[in-house]
Amino acid sequence: MTTVHIPVITIDGPTASGKGTVSHLVAQRLGFHYLDSGALYRLTALSALRKGVDLGDEHALAKLARDLQCSFSGEDVFLAHENVSAAIRAEEVGNTASKIAALSTVRQALYRLQLDFRKAPGLVADGRDMGTVIFPHAPLKVFLTASVEARAERRYKQLIGKGFSANMSDLLKDLKERDERDANRTVAPLKPAEGAYVLDTSAMGVDEAVERVLGWYAALKKQHAV
């Protein structure tokens, strides 16, 4: 099977929309590979913060992105041989990742790395531009969204559950700023891909969202023998 014929499901959406959890579970159910593209930007951000790289130095940031030594094992994310799954979820890292993700040099540096995740029997890719830029010809594209209030509550519970301190009003402010930055950046702005199914999970559980995506994929396979 050539790469172009390997099925891809893209699941894009704003921060804390649930796309990571849904994507991981869909990949698990289908036996597909999983790409958390946001983790690549968070890994670049973590590396930049640790090394004291100037966030205004695009070329230095792009070099960090190109030289990333990362790997995924289930839900664990590794930078070189260090498990940084918790470290990349810190709010400072997330906010930094959102800022550097607006830089075209960084996005270009990570482009090829993301394409390389497309392997048989299939891939579920989650992020902000998976369906619009990285895999625009994916047979199934989903845009997962939720109200900013619902997302802030989810993020709060997630952070507290992992032992991080969190403040609801600060989270709301950060999410609104991140949404605006992601939606209005000149390079690969956050928006539903053409032909994407839009799924609002504000009042929806994870299991229901997963079943909805799997249902769309099953229907697509039946129609087009993907």
Q: Where are the domains of the chain?
A: 3-218
- DSSP secondary structure letters along 185-222: -SSS-S-PPTTPEEEE-TT--HHHHHHHHHHHHHHHHH
Summary mean pLDDT of the chain: 92
- Tokens for 48? 């930049």
The pLDDT, as a whole number, for residue 225 is 64
**Distance (Å, whole) CA 150 – CA 142:** 19
pLDDT band at 6 (very low <50, low <70, confident <90, very high): very high
**Distance (Å, whole) CA 172 – CA 158:** 14
The pLDDT, as a whole number, for residue 73 is 80
> 67 Cβ partners below 8 Å, 6+ apart?
none
Query: In this structure, what are the phi and psi dihedrals at residue 11, rounded to the nearest 5 degrees?
Result: -130, 100
Just give the CATH number of 3-218: 3.40.50.300
Percent of the chain residues past pLDDT 70, beyond the cut: 98
Q: Assign 82 to helix, strand or coil.
A: strand
Write the pLDDT tens digit of every residue in 170-226. Answer: 999 999 998 998 888 888 889 999 999 999 999 999 999 999 999 999 999 988 765
pTM of the model: 0.87
Distance of CA 173 to the CA centre of its chain: 20
